[in-house]
Amino acid sequence: MSYQSDISVSKRASLTEFFITIVLAFAFFVYLSITIYTKDPLWVWPVYNSQPVSALIRCYGGEVGLEGHSTDLTAIAGMVNEQLSGKKRWDELNLTDQTYEEYQSSPRMMILELFYDSPQRVHSSSPFFSNFDSLLIPLDGRHSDTSIIFALIGGMPGGGSFHVQDFQPVVDYLVQRNICSKP
């Protein structure tokens, strides 16, 4: 009797090990496939933590610059990094030349541009948002209601955009610190 129960235990263990092996192999295959697609082995790492060297706020037709490691730039970068580290969704919506020109001069919009001194990458399962040197965030105006962020590479729009949770804390900060407010 004990011989028969040893066989059934052995079969159960073999099946369990087989299913565990299949699940691990499948998980590795998925990870490897996405790594090859994104060219980023850290795509599973959600943290974005970069400090821009400067920022330009296009404030309803005017411009406000933030340089270096100012407390305002550090605070704003922290809020943006938090959004990029959180839940985000890639979208194929690109920044058109017409929209970019409008962002640069419209008296009806508030736009935040962050500039970096070296190419940046946002880790995600999307191959986009790599090698960008600036980020453009509409805070009021076209596309601002979708909490969208665009990447620029050498001043030209990169592929697609990310939708994040909410940039309202950045808007509130800019208004509270009298950096930019709606006229």
The whole domain housing 8 covers 1-38
Residue that is written with structure tokens 């090859």 in the block: 36
Q: Is the pLDDT confidence value at 2 over 50? A: no
55 against 124, higher pLDDT: 55
**Pair 140, 105 in one domain:** yes
Residue 45 falls inside a structural domain: no
Residue 47 in domain: no
Q: Structural domain tally of the chain? A: 2
* Co-location of 60 and 96 in the same domain: yes
Same domain, 33 and 63: no
pLDDT higher than threshold 60 for residue 37 = yes
Residue 182 lies in a domain: no
Q: What is the 3-state secondary structure (H, E, C) of 60-94?
A: CCEEEEEECCCHHHHHHHHHHHHHHHCCCEEECCC
In Å, how far are 9, 18, 168 from 119, measured between CA atoms?
56, 44, 26
The whole-model pTM stands at 0.79
Place of tokens 């736009």: 111
Residues 138 and 63 in one domain: yes
Q: How far apart are CA 15 and CA 171, in angstroms?
A: 56
109 and 172 inside one domain: yes
For residues 7 and 65, membership in a common domain is answered with: no
Weakest mean pLDDT among 19-33, 56-70, 129-143: 19-33
Rg over CA atoms, the chain: 23
Whether residues 61 and 140 share a domain: the answer is yes
